[in-house]
Amino acid sequence: MALLQISEPGKSTNPHEHRLAVGIDLGTTNSLVATVRSGEVKVLLDQEGRSLLPSVVHFRKDGDPQIGYPALEAIVNDPMNTIASAKRMIGRKTADIKSLRDQLPYNFDDESANVPRIITADGPRSAIEVSAEILTALKKRAEASLGGELNGVVITVPAYFDDAQRQATKDAARLAGLNVMRLLNEPTAAAIAYGLDQGSEGIYAIYDLGGGTFDVSILRLNKGVFEVLATAGDSALGGDDMDRLIAEWILDDIDDDGLSKDSYFLRQTMLAAREAKEALTDNDSTNINLSLPDGTIREIMLDRNTMNGLIAPVIDKTLLPCKRSLRDAGLQKDDIDAIVMVGGSTRVLSVKDKVEEFFSKKLYTDVDPDQVVAVGAAIQADILVGNRSADDMLLLDVIPLSLGIEIMGGMVEKIIPRNATIPVTRAQEFTTYKDGQTAMSIHVVQGERELVSDCRSLARFELREIPPMAAGSARIKVSFKVDADGLLSVSASESTTGVETHIDVKPSYGLTDEEIEQMLRDSIAHAEEDIHARQLAEQQVEAERVILALESALAVDGDKFLNEAEKSDLISAMEELKRLSDGGDADAIKRAINDLNELSEMFAARRMDASIRSVMAGHNINEFSD
């Protein structure tokens, strides 16, 4: 008997109107695609019945690129033209990649200015182009399975991906011909899968350790609302690092320095290390067989205890963001109800043991860790494309780092604080600094420190055609908007004329994970120092404003309303303020400003009286009272 699907009026599309949408988990090691069919989430398989697509692309001089399993076979025989773990490079600037080059067995095109490109037999290729090839393969799989063109996709990204990495992911999707409805944070996608499948409510930690990225997010689930309380992580940490440590151990055992420089043998060793790691999930020991360049076969035995010791530093490194996310959420470990384990690298037994020991809580592992992110993305895609009511779920995600602009004195005015729920729009009013100012330069920055020099620059743009007014009279509204994908746009407008300018922030570089981690540590370690620095900068800006105003007034009316002694006293006090403002004592500058203000009160009063007399000349007081 066929089942009837019953919905409230207006809550469901007609059968002929069902729109095709999928969720894509674009992973470092493997990728996959899922969809919702008849209310049930299905991971889509290839022609051989496999759900995973290895995130590997083999570029050939003659012929189309090979993607997935065929490329995986070429990784040993043609390593320089076979690109894996491209997700680690996406959204990063050439200068940022230099720190990773020892870990990446590729030749880079040094002429690439901002976007790093790997030299292949088919020409230089960026991580964006590699990701586009993977997304194209998943798109073809989905359209073949669903029998039509896709109306939209949701692509998951690590929660700790910065603006540049998210933009680069969207660019890759555009190259693949995909309509991206949303970039969804991977931990949130996992929470969607578990929350809707089990009806869970409470506070959960989502521990997501993939092949090349790590995220931890603290979420509150309540009646269909997914609220991210805090997020932390490292977008260059994962199973690849475990493989590298095991491979280094193998090379040390072989004891041949020449082999460590052989790119072909290095790829073979990394592949063997990964296979050994996977084998030790179910076995206490495993044999590693390697073909040496001289044709001999080398067999090495690796047991689980030895491997656990080798990879312990990687696992320990994931616990630091766990501590920080708890602190940012204002929670203790006891407040967490359970831990959701996500990502293929969480299959490693010592990962589970250490996470369970750290939180002392139940681990959720009953959904395939390789598939749970794609499942959540598919559910979200089904809602966004219109097949289900948007009332079914509310996502409240957050941004990882504060956003603001530079103000006078090299200080940062934070517009949107880190861990603010997105999508979010915040605005703040600013004003001009000098008389007759007709333009304002707006410098957008990202970070937690008080001074611009300690934060990361994102973009600069200008608001022009401001009407010339006295300093402080103009009202400039600066608005920040972070959309559901975590992407930023900034606008500025002047209230009296309505003149406006706008920029979509698309930096050509990405924040490295070390920079993000350092930003957060510095914001704590230098909190008191930053407060003093900001106080000093504020007093220096105020001193300059007072001096400019007084100099302007003296130039116009100094000889008219002051005798020589009074004028000399004012100039002396002003020179003393200038001298102090070049120093580092904020309190001394503040006292000098107050002294100068008191000394100039009689000058200001005389100018005011003269102005009033001028206005009233030829008029009766009764005219003004009427």
Average pLDDT over residues 490-497: 84
Q: Which residue has the higher pLDDT, 351 or 263?
A: 351
The number of angstroms, rounded, from the C-alpha of 575 to the middle of its chain's C-alpha atoms is 47
* Under 8 Å between Cβ of 182 and 380: yes
- Residue 281 clears pLDDT 80, i.e. is over it: yes
- Separation CA 474–CA 470 (nearest Å): 8
Strands 21-25 and 152-157: parallel
* Residue 448 appears among annotated catalytic residues: no
- For the chain, the structural domain boundaries read 1-194+373-387, 239-309, 403-511, 530-616
- From the list 162, 208, 241, 243, the catalytic residue is 208
* pLDDT of amino acid 42: 93
- From the list 46, 87, 133, 215, the catalytic residue is 87
* pLDDT of amino acid 131: 94
Return the SS3 of 29: coil
* pLDDT of amino acid 45: 94
* pLDDT of amino acid 43: 94
State pLDDT tens for residues 438-480.
888 888 887 777 888 777 777 787 888 888 888 888 888 888 8
Q: Which residue has the higher pLDDT, 305 or 434?
A: 305
* Under 8 Å between Cβ of 578 and 570: no
- Residue 351 clears pLDDT 90, i.e. is over it: yes
Is 498 exposed, middle or buried (CB count within 10 Å of its CB: 0-12, 13-18, 19+)?
A: exposed
Average pLDDT over residues 383-390: 78
Q: Which of 60-69, 298-307, 486-495 has the lowest mean pLDDT?
A: 486-495
- Residue 322 clears pLDDT 90, i.e. is over it: yes
* pLDDT of amino acid 62: 80
Q: Which of 496-505, 574-583, 593-602 has the lowest mean pLDDT?
A: 496-505
Q: How far, CA to CA in Å, does 366 sit from each of 89, 210, 363, 616?
A: 31, 17, 9, 85
Q: Which residue has the higher pLDDT, 285 or 530?
A: 285
Highest mean pLDDT among 2-11, 114-123, 189-198: 114-123
Percentage of the chain beyond pLDDT 90 is 26
* pLDDT of amino acid 285: 93
- Separation CA 470–CA 519 (nearest Å): 38
- Separation CA 124–CA 121 (nearest Å): 8
Region for 52 from its dihedrals, namely left if φ exceeds 0, alpha if ψ lies in -120 to 50, beta otherwise: beta
Return the SS3 of 584: coil
Domain 403-511 coded CATH 2.60.34.10: yes
- Separation CA 400–CA 188 (nearest Å): 14
Tokens of 372: 């749970």
CATH superfamily label, 1-194+373-387:
ATPase, nucleotide binding domain (3.30.420.40)
* pLDDT of amino acid 35: 96
- Separation CA 203–CA 184 (nearest Å): 19
pTM: 0.64
Q: Which residue has the higher pLDDT, 534 or 490?
A: 490
State pLDDT tens for residues 96-134.
666 555 556 677 776 655 678 888 988 888 888 899 999
Beta bridge partners of 449: none
Region for 465 from its dihedrals, namely left if φ exceeds 0, alpha if ψ lies in -120 to 50, beta otherwise: left
CATH topology of domain 239-309: Actin; Chain A, domain 4 (3.90.640)
- Residue 3 clears pLDDT 50, i.e. is over it: no
* pLDDT of amino acid 17: 58
Average pLDDT over residues 431-435: 82
Residues 6+ apart with CB under 8 A from 215: 158, 159, 160, 185, 186, 187, 206, 208, 231, 232, 233, 321
* pLDDT of amino acid 136: 93
Q: How sure is the predictor about 202, in pLDDT bands with cuts at 50, 70 and 90?
A: confident
* pLDDT of amino acid 51: 94
Average pLDDT over residues 165-187: 88
* pLDDT of amino acid 2: 34
Own/partner contacts of 299-303, CB < 8 Å, gap of 24 or more, are: 300/250, 300/253, 300/254, 302/246, 302/249, 302/276
- From the list 163, 186, 243, 328, the catalytic residue is 186
State pLDDT tens for residues 132-162.
999 999 999 999 999 888 999 999 998 878 7
* pLDDT of amino acid 11: 43
- From the list 25, 46, 240, 243, the catalytic residue is 25
* pLDDT of amino acid 349: 93
Residue 336 is classified by DSSP as -
* Residue 609 appears among annotated catalytic residues: no
Residues 6+ apart with CB under 8 A from 389: 11, 12, 383
Residue 346 is classified by DSSP as G
* Residue 61 appears among annotated catalytic residues: no
Average pLDDT over residues 271-281: 91
State pLDDT tens for residues 228-271.
888 888 877 889 899 999 998 998 888 766 666 676 777 788 88
* Residue 87 appears among annotated catalytic residues: yes
- Residue 503 clears pLDDT 60, i.e. is over it: yes
* pLDDT of amino acid 287: 93
Render the burial of 406-423: b for 16+ CB within 10 Å, e for the rest.
bbebbbbebbbebbbebe
Domain 530-616 coded CATH 3.90.580.10: no
- Residue 199 clears pLDDT 80, i.e. is over it: no
* Under 8 Å between Cβ of 508 and 115: yes
- Residue 487 clears pLDDT 80, i.e. is over it: no
Residue type, 171: D
**Mean of all residue pLDDT scores within the chain:** 82
* pLDDT of amino acid 318: 95
